[in-house]
């Protein structure tokens, strides 16, 4: 029979703790419990079960007393096959009915963009304005540079013409 060799320790305080779950991987994995993405333990699960049972009892009491509002089953976490709640219809109209109709009409005509889309649109327009301004600045700088070059070319031409006139007037050979 071959025994597992004892761990090699350089100091007595390096001794590992005793194995949990009887060194069984299956027992270790069975001890791991989650609810959704949250790791939990038996006490927490028991508390959640008690809360859920209390809600279910309250729902049953409301149904028995006739205080339960049909159509709110989803609030209690149940979904029995019952007829959806249909509130009683009004036979008269008052000022508030007209106000609600006007508000609903205006809301229906308003922009259907979500808040995120509106913000993105505003940011995009401001970025576009910035780059348009940068382009205008570049055009102005280019125009100023061209104006300077024209002035410089004109001054150079005047100097060349005046020197040419001197050379032609005197009759000397032109040296360049």
pLDDT 10s digits, 65-96: 877 666 665 665 555 555 566 667 778 888 88
Closest CA to 59 of 74, 44, 37, 39: 74
Segments of the chain assigned E as strands: 33-35, 38-40
CA torsion sign, 125 to 129 to 135 to 139? positive
- Choose the weakest-confidence range: 77-81, 99-103, 122-126: 77-81
Give the pLDDT band (50/70/90) at residue 172: low
| Beta-bridge partner residues of 78 | none
Q: Are 7 and 18 in contact (CB under 8 A)?
A: no
Res 125: pLDDT: 92
Give the pLDDT band (50/70/90) at residue 38: confident
pTM for the whole structure? 0.29
Give the pLDDT band (50/70/90) at residue 171: low
Q: Are 152 and 145 in contact (CB under 8 A)?
A: no
Percent of the chain residues topping a pLDDT of 70? 82
Q: Where are the domains of the chain?
A: 25-84, 116-176
Summarize the confidence of residues 33-54 as an average pLDDT: 83
**C-alpha dihedral over 136, 138, 139, 145, to 10 degrees?**
150
């Amino acid at each position: 029979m071959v025994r597992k060799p004892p761990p090699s320790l350089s100091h007595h305080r390096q001794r590992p703790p005793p194995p949990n779950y009887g060194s069984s991987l299956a027992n270790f994995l069975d001890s791991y419990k989650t609810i959704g993405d949250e790791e939990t333990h038996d006490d927490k699960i028991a508390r959640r079960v008690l809360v859920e049972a209390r809600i279910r009892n309250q729902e049953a009491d409301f149904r028995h007393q006739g205080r339960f509002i049909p159509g709110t089953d989803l609030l209690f976490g149940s979904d029995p096959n019952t007829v959806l709640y249909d509130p009683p219809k009004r036979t008269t109209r008052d000022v508030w009915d007209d106000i609600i109709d006007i508000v609903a009409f205006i809301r229906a005509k308003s922009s259907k963009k979500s808040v995120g889309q509106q913000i993105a649109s505003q940011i995009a327009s401001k970025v576009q304005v910035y780059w348009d301004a940068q382009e205008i600045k570049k055009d102005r700088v280019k125009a100023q540079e061209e104006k300077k070059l024209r002035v410089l070319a004109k001054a150079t031409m005047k100097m060349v013409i005046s020197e040419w006139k001197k050379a032609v007037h005197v009759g000397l050979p032109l040296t360049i």
